[in-house]
């Protein structure tokens, strides 16, 4: 879809909330992008506002071309959709910072003219040496203002000179360091140093671009991670210098690993938003989980708590004051539990269709399965729906139903658990199952005598009663023969789905190896 173009203008004052999320396309999208989007969107939908997706791509050194489309895909997968953005346009397009470079320069020039910013020609090496010396002598770290008040020629005579300058803010002594936060109340932040606002490559830094873009796009509430608290005084100062009304602030608690460290893509695969798709999580379960990380469960009329809730329920009752400012632990066990709950609640047809991409990926089924294969898959899906917590777990349980009888492999752990009476059990099963009539339509619920109830009754009579083997141990060899695994879907229903011919062939194949 082509982007709608419009001049960057100051939006008219409006009571309608406008919130945004602004990820950087520097790799796989971070789970924090979904976390922030969820809380932004919950408030926007409750208030009838607008949700904006902006791509902050000014970090050209770390820019990755495919990252932007991954942001679009993963947020759409989660149902966290936006009203304006690079892919759909909007009244304040463009929504990529790299396409807005002309917007930032007038703001920089104004600050330079008013003496609120200055050029800095220091090389990276000189800055690194300065920081090292400050740390050694235990001085406050920050730029030492060597370039402030100097002309280019004056600075060129000193060491550590770079031909291409950056532009820095000149932080005044009376910079305000407290602000009101929707989640935390009155917040105090440390004194900032002279922040770079325009890089040597002509791209703005985050600090300038975020203020300019949020103003020009009419953003009323800035919701972001608590790591930006220390930067907020710089942003408030820029709003004041430009004579603009600052937005309301809400700093969300950071997501943390079990050791309380900040969750990062380098150390934790679950920090990658695409990981949850790959691992077979349901998007609605992940949305529910992310909400619970910093927000209380739904309170029922009788006062009991309910942890399973929809986005609509979350949005309807949303209140910034309920957000817990303490950094939540990213507990994947809790997510696994939630995912299992959501899987069990799916309609069977929906559950079956959600399995298909994983079964195709693992080459259990082709990209275009036949109607017969889909019918068999639906019958198997009904057996396993209560037995898995991730969609990826279906592959091992489903595969035995789609391999040729002579291609079924017996897992080593399954073979190792077979006891001395396994040959007797298999012989008894072959004899009794061979007598069951399999004429009819078959496949669970058919009029054929080859059905789970008949199979179970016959096998119990032959093995439990006939051989005197306890039910707990009686059917292990049959399970191994039919599925090749120690753990499988219910045995008698599996035999019904496989049919008499395949079931007997598999029993004989295992018997022949014993």
- Out of 387, 402, 417, a domain closes at 402
User: What's the pLDDT at 508?
Assistant: 97
- Out of 252, 268, 289, a domain closes at 252
Write out pLDDT tens, residues 452-491: 999 999 999 999 999 999 988 899 999 999 999 988 999 9
Query: Are residues 245 and 144 part of one domain?
Result: yes
Q: 94 preceded by cis ω (within 30°)?
A: yes
Q: Give the domain range for residue 239.
A: 101-252
Residue 441 has pLDDT above 70, yes or no: no
Cα–Cα dist 445/321, whole Å: 54
| CATH code of 474's domain | 1.10.10.350
Cα–Cα dist 86/122, whole Å: 36
Query: Are residues 245 and 110 part of one domain?
Result: yes
Cα–Cα dist 309/342, whole Å: 10
- Out of 345, 362, 390, a domain closes at 345
Write out pLDDT tens, residues 305-363: 999 999 999 999 999 999 999 989 999 999 999 999 999 999 999 999 999 999 999 99
**What share of the chain in percent tops pLDDT 70?**
96
DSSP state of 89: B
Q: Is residue 96 part of a domain?
A: no
Asked if residue 265 belongs to a known ligand binding site, the reply is: yes
Write out pLDDT tens, residues 143-199: 999 999 999 999 999 999 999 999 999 999 999 999 999 999 999 999 999 999 999
Torsion over CA of 319, 325, 327 and 333, rounded to 10 degrees? -30
User: What's the pLDDT at 443?
Assistant: 53
Q: Is residue 150 part of a domain?
A: yes
DSSP state of 282: -
Query: Are residues 123 and 237 part of one domain?
Result: yes
Query: Are residues 81 and 124 part of one domain?
Result: no
Query: Are residues 78 and 155 part of one domain?
Result: no
User: What's the pLDDT at 1?
Assistant: 35
Query: Are residues 314 and 216 part of one domain?
Result: no
Q: Is residue 488 part of a domain?
A: yes
Query: Are residues 23 and 110 part of one domain?
Result: no
Q: Is residue 95 part of a domain?
A: no
Query: Are residues 375 and 329 part of one domain?
Result: no
User: What's the pLDDT at 7?
Assistant: 32
Work out the burial of residue 420: count CB atoms within 10 Å of its CB; fewer than 13 is exposed, 13-18 middle, 19 or more buried: exposed
- Its pTM surpasses 0.95: no
Query: Are residues 198 and 113 part of one domain?
Result: yes
Catalytic residue list? 265
Q: Is residue 221 part of a domain?
A: yes
User: What's the pLDDT at 2?
Assistant: 34
Query: Are residues 413 and 398 part of one domain?
Result: no
User: What's the pLDDT at 362?
Assistant: 97
Cα–Cα dist 272/207, whole Å: 25
Specify the number of domains making up the chain: 4
Q: Is residue 201 part of a domain?
A: yes
Query: Are residues 151 and 58 part of one domain?
Result: no
| CATH code of 361's domain | 1.10.8.70
Query: Are residues 217 and 144 part of one domain?
Result: yes
| CATH code of 24's domain | 3.40.50.620
């Amino acid at each position: 879809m082509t982007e709608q173009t419009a001049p960057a203008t100051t939006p008219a004052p409006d009571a309608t909330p406008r919130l945004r999320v602004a990820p950087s396309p520097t790799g796989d999208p971070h789970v924090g992008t979904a976390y922030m989007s969820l809380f932004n969107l919950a408030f926007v939908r409750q208030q009838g506002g607008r949700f904006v997706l902006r791509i902050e791509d000014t970090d050209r050194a770390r820019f990755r071309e495919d990252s932007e489309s991954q942001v679009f895909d993963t947020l759409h997968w989660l149902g966290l959709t936006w009203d304006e953005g690079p892919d759909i346009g909007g009244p304040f397009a463009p929504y990529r910072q790299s396409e807005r470079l002309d917007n930032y320069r007038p703001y920089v020039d104004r600050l330079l003219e008013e003496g609120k910013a200055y050029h800095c020609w220091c090389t990276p090496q000189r800055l690194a040496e300065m920081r090292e010396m400050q740390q050694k002598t235990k001085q406050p770290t920050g730029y030492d203002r060597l370039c402030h008040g100097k002309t280019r020629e004056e600075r060129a005579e000193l060491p550590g000179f770079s031909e291409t300058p950056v532009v820095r803010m000149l932080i005044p002594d009376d910079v305000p360091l407290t602000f009101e936060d929707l989640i935390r109340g009155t917040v105090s932040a440390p004194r900032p140093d002279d922040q770079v606002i325009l890089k040597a490559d002509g791209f703005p830094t985050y600090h300038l671009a975020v203020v300019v873009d949020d103003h020009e796009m009419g953003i009323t509430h800035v919701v972001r991670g608590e790591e930006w608290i220390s930067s907020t005084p710089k942003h408030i100062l820029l709003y004041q210098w430009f004579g603009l009304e600052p937005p309301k602030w809400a700093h969300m608690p950071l997501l943390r690993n079990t050791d309380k460290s900040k969750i990062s893509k380098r150390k934790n695969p679950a920090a990658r938003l695409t990981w949850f798709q790959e691992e077979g999580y349901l998007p609605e379960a992940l949305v529910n989980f992310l909400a619970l990380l910093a927000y209380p469960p739904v309170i029922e009329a009788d006062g009991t708590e309910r942890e399973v809730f929809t986005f609509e329920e979350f949005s309807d009752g949303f209140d910034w004051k309920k957000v817990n400012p303490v950094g939540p632990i990213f507990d994947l066990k809790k997510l696994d539990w939630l995912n299992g709950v959501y899987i069990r609640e799916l309609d069977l047809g929906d559950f079956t269709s959600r399995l298909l991409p994983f079964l195709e990926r693992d080459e259990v089924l082709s990209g275009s399965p036949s109607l017969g294969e889909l019918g068999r898959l639906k019958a198997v899906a009904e057996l396993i729906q209560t037995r898995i917590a991730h969609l990826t777990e279906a592959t091992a349980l489903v595969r035995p139903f789609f391999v040729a009888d002579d291609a079924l492999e017996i897992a080593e752990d399954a073979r190792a658990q077979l006891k001395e009476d396994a040959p007797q059990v298999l012989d008894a099963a072959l004899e009794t199952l061979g007598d069951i009539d399999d004429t009819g339509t078959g496949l669970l619920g058919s009029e054929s005598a080859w059905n789970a109830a008949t199979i179970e009754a016959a096998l119990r009579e032959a093995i439990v009663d006939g051989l005197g083997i306890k039910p707990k141990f009686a059917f292990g060899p049959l399970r191994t023969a039919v599925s090749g695994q120690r753990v499988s879907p219910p045995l008698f229903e599996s035999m019904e789905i496989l049919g008499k011919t395949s079931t007997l062939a598999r029993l004989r194949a295992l018997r022949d190896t014993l």
